[in-house]
Amino acid sequence: MNEQERRTAEEGRGSEKNSAGRAAGEEASSSATDEALTKIPRWAAADPLLAAYHAEEWGMPVRTEAGIYERLCLEAFQAGLSWLTVLRKREAFREAFAKFDPEAVAEFGEKDVERLLANSAIIRNRVKIEATIHNARATLALRESGGLPSFVWSFQPEVNIFPERSEDIPQHTPESSAMAAALRGRGFRFVGPTTCFALMLAIGMVDGHLVGSRERGRSGVWEGEWPDGPETYPGVEPLEYHEAWGRLKAV
């Protein structure tokens, strides 16, 4: 083999190695992407807008009156529909409902209801619109006993949930049922156990991010997954909950 042939052969082997390296890198990248996607709830992977909401906002702590009031209202508007529908109309909702300022919305009357029913940019449902106005008034009334944020956050469960799959996230819990009953007792409308649990997940009271995902624990609400450390629950695995998901089983 002459010098030229040797160089050509070496260049060919180098090219093969580079191609193999690229293929391996692409395969590893694809595997990493696939693994990351398995750690995202199905609802968040369905649309780029949902993915951004999940990555940037969902599950982060919300402790302001207007913030919790807005999310409570939007969760009610979602009932029977999809969150994507609500999310696409969110800015229109904010404009229509005075940026969800409870004091402003509490002043809405029948003319405002008719105006909102004629607004094609939002979800035009009379019962939900009237509930939003009524709930603004109930929010103001709660100020006499600590306010909406402290009232809602008082239902934070003692133990977090540990979903490894989307199917592991419950629709409601004993705490969300108790919150719904308490809110109705304070005059709120359109607040059921499922709506309240969706609120709890959205504002970080419960960490609904899948175990092993990069978003898990980022809210800082649950400094440790176990309230008094895992050593206080010997032999108990995180997913070993009783049927209502509210408390860890005793051992």
CB atoms within 10 A of CB 103: 13
Tell me the C-alpha distance between 228 and 206, whole Å. Answer: 17
Tokens of 225: 């997954």
Give the pLDDT mean for 183-203. Answer: 95
pTM: 0.76
The set of catalytic residues is 53, 75, 83
Give the pLDDT confidence of 61-108 residue by residue, as tens digits: 999 999 999 999 999 999 989 999 999 999 999 999 999 999 999 999
CB atoms within 10 A of CB 124: 12
3 state SS for 103-132: HHHCCCCHHHHHHHHCCCCCCCCHHHHHHH
Q: Which of 190, 181, 86 is nearest to 134 (CA)?
A: 190
Q: Which of 29, 41, 119, 104 is nearest to 70 (CA)?
A: 104
Q: Which of 40, 52, 58, 46 is nearest to 212 (CA)?
A: 40
| Percent of the chain topping pLDDT 70 | 73
| Mean pLDDT estimate for the chain | 81
The structural domains of the chain, ordered by start, are 48-232 (1.10.340.30)
